[in-house]
Amino acid sequence: MMNVFEFYILLGSIIFMVISFALLLVRAANGPTVFDKLLAINSINSKINVMLIILSIFSNNQSFIDIAYVYALTSYIAMYSILKFIRNRNLDVKE
């Protein structure tokens, strides 16, 4: 069972994460360059991982940590693939 202090710490961290998540969504929608948008999306993925860890602590369910590991790995592979595509997209164009 969680005491009152731990509950308010977790509640405050969830509120902070939701506010930062909303600000990152605005940044991802209005970013001036593609790289700013990708950085915001990558930060959103990191925030989702932190929210999964907080949910794991809050519910005393350790399986959310495994889900966070898989989500982090998938996010890393996806971001690497997108950046590699952006870097190499102009190499195959013949003029």
- Alpha carbons 65 and 56: distance in angstroms, whole number: 6
pTM of the model: 0.80
Q: What is the structure's pLDDT at 10?
A: 82
Q: What is the structure's pLDDT at 94?
A: 61
Whether residue 90 has pLDDT greater than 90:
no
- Alpha carbons 39 and 43: distance in angstroms, whole number: 6
Q: What is the structure's pLDDT at 1?
A: 65
Whether residue 80 has pLDDT greater than 90:
yes
Domain definitions of the chain by residue range: 4-88
